C-alpha cells in the first residue's frame, strides 16, 4: 500500500465524475439474494469495491475457511447465509474484523436453529458454522440500535426458511433506510415482506431470478459534494444519480444545500456548484451514519459550528470513527466533543497554513472525507489505498477534475 498521497491546493475544479462507483450496499444485497435464487439472471453494473469482490469470491468458494478480510457486510451477510444453508464453514477476517461484534446476529441465528460457535473471542469473529439448519421458530427479536446489517442479514435469508420470519425490532432503530433498501430489493426478486411499526414479517417462499442493474453510490457522491462545498468555483457533474434512489444517503443533497452546494438535475446528470452556506448546522445521522465524516470535515473547514447526533454505530465500523474524527479534526484546529450522545463540533477561525498528515486508520471513509481539504490547503493523506474498499478509482477521479495528486 502506498504510504501517502499529496493533494496539492487547487481552489477551482470542474469535470465529469465518470467512474462514480455502483452502490456497494445494493450490490452485496443483490449477490446474496441471487445466491438464494434457484435460477440466475444477469446483474449489471456490480460494484468494483473490494467488499463486493470479496462477497463474489466467497459465495463461489467451496473452501471450508473463508476470509472476509475487512468487509463488515460480507461477514454478516454470509454468516446468516451459510448458517441457514446448513453449510460447514469457518468465517474469519482481519484483526479489526475480529474486534467488531457479531453476537447479536449469532444469538438470533441460534434461536432460529442454526449451529454456530466462536473459535477465538466470545461474541466476535471468527465464527464456525456447522449444519444442518432446522428452524425452531419463526419469531425472534433483535436490537435495532446497533447495526442494520444484522437485521438485513436475517431478512434476506428469511424467504428461504421453511417457516419464514417475524422479526421484532427492539428500541431505537438505526440506519432505517438500509432496512428499507433490503426489503425493497427482496420484493424486486419476488419476496413477500411487510413492515408495520416494530414488526417485519417475511413469508416463506422462493426468490425469483430477475435481471437487475445496480445504481451509482450516493455515499461516494457525497465526497464530490464536499469538494464542491470547499471550492471557490466548481462545476462537478455526477452521472446517473436518481433522487428516487432506494439509498438513504441521497439525503446528502439536503445537508449540502445548507453547507454551500447547489445540486441541479440536468437530464440524467446532477450538476454541483458552490452557493452560500449557513453558519450553524445540526443533523441526526441515525439513518445515514456513513455521511458523518464527510460532513464533519466540511463544517470544520468552513468554520461552521455543528451538532451531530445518531453517531452510536460509528464506534464499530472499520475503526472507531468518532475517536478517529476527534484526532484528525484537531489537526484543523477543530474540537469534536460528546455530551450525552450529542457531538459538538467547534471550528477554528482559520485553518492552519500547513495541515499535519491525515491518518486514515485503515478506514476508506477517513481518506475520502479529508481529501476535499485540498480545495483550501495542500493535504497529505496516509495509506490512500484504503479507498479500494468502496471506491477503487477515487484518486483517478480526483486527478480527472484537475487536482494534482502525487503518490509517495
Residues belonging to the active site: 290
Tell me how far apart the alpha carbons of residues 224 and 261 are, in angstroms, rounded to a whole number: 10
Q: How far is CA 236 from CA 12, 13, 265, in A?
A: 10, 7, 12
Tell me the β-bridge partners of 382: 4
Query: Residues 6 or more apart from 196 whose CB is under 8 A from it?
Result: none
Tell me how far apart the alpha carbons of residues 105 and 256 are, in angstroms, rounded to a whole number: 35
Q: Is 40 exposed, middle or buried (0-12, 13-18, 19+ CB in 10 A)?
A: exposed
Q: How many CB atoms lie within 10 A of CB 400?
A: 15
- Looking at residue 272, the DSSP 8-state letter turns out to be E
Q: How far is CA 348 from CA 7, 75, 332, in A?
A: 22, 40, 7
Q: Is the four-CA dihedral 107, 109, 115, 116 of positive or negative sign?
A: negative
Of the candidates 332, 326, 282, the one whose C-alpha atom is nearest the C-alpha of residue 307 is 282
Pair 7, 405: CB distance under 8 Å: yes
Category of 240 on φ-ψ map: left (φ > 0), alpha (ψ -120 to 50) or beta:
left
Give the 3-state secondary structure of residue 262: strand
**What is the Cα gyration radius of the chain?**
21
Tell me how far apart the alpha carbons of residues 369 and 294 are, in angstroms, rounded to a whole number: 4
Spacing of C-alpha 305 from chain mean position: 25
Tell me the β-bridge partners of 335: 346
Q: Is the four-CA dihedral 38, 69, 246, 200 of positive or negative sign?
A: positive
Tell me how far apart the alpha carbons of residues 2 and 395 are, in angstroms, rounded to a whole number: 12
Amino acid at each position: 500500500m502506498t504510504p501517502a498521497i499529496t493533494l496539492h491546493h487547487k481552489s477551482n475544479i470542474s469535470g465529469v465524475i465518470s467512474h462514480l462507483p455502483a452502490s456497494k450496499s445494493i450490490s452485496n444485497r443483490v449477490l446474496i439474494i441471487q445466491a438464494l435464487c434457484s435460477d440466475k439472471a444477469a446483474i449489471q453494473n456490480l460494484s468494483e469495491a473490494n467488499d463486493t469482490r470479496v462477497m463474489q469470491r466467497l459465495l463461489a468458494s467451496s473452501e471450508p475457511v473463508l476470509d472476509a478480510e475487512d468487509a463488515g457486510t460480507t461477514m454478516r451477510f454470509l454468516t446468516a447465509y451459510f448458517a441457514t444453508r446448513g453449510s460447514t464453514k469457518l468465517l474469519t477476517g482481519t484483526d479489526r474484523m475480529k474486534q467488531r461484534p457479531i453476537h447479536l446476529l449469532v444469538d438470533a441465528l441460534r434461536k432460529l436453529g442454526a449451529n454456530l460457535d466462536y473459535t477465538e473471542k466470545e461474541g466476535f469473529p471468527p465464527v464456525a458454522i456447522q449444519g444442518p439448519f432446522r428452524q425452531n421458530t419463526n419469531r425472534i427479536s433483535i436490537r435495532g440500535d446497533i447495526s442494520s446489517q444484522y437485521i438485513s442479514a436475517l431478512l434476506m435469508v428469511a424467504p428461504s426458511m421453511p417457516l419464514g420470519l417475524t422479526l421484532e425490532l427492539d428500541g431505537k432503530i438505526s440506519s432505517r433506510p438500509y432496512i428499507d433498501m433490503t426489503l425493497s430489493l427482496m420484493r424486486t426478486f419476488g419476496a413477500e415482506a411487510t413492515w408495520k411499526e416494530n414488526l417485519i414479517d417475511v413469508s416463506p417462499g422462493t426468490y425469483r431470478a430477475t435481471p437487475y442493474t445496480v445504481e451509482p453510490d450516493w455515499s461516494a457522491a457525497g465526497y464530490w459534494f464536499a469538494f464542491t462545498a470547499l471550492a471557490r468555483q466548481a462545476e462537478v457533474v455526477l452521472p446517473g444519480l436518481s433522487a428516487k434512489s432506494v439509498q438513504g444517503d441521497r439525503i446528502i443533497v439536503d445537508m449540502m444545500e445548507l453547507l454551500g452546494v447547489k445540486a441541479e438535475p440536468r437530464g440524467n446528470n446532477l450538476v454541483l456548484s458552490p452557493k452560500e452556506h449557513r453558519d450553524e448546522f445540526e443533523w441526526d445521522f441515525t439513518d445515514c451514519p456513513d455521511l458523518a465524516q464527510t460532513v464533519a470535515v466540511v463544517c470544520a473547514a468552513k468554520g461552521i459550528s455543528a451538532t451531530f447526533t445518531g453517531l452510536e454505530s460509528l464506534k464499530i465500523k472499520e475503526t472507531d470513527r468518532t475517536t478517529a474524527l476527534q484526532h484528525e479534526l484537531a489537526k484543523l484546529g477543530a474540537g469534536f466533543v460528546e455530551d450525552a450522545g450529542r457531538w459538538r463540533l467547534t471550528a477554528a477561525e482559520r485553518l492552519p497554513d500547513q495541515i499535519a498528515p491525515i491518518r486514515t486508520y485503515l478506514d476508506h471513509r477517513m481518506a475520502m472525507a479529508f481529501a476535499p481539504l485540498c480545495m483550501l490547503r495542500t493535504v497529505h493523506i496516509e495509506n490512500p489505498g484504503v479507498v479500494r474498499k468502496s471506491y477503487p478509482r477515487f484518486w483517478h477521479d480526483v486527478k480527472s477534475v484537475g487536482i494534482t495528486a502525487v503518490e509517495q
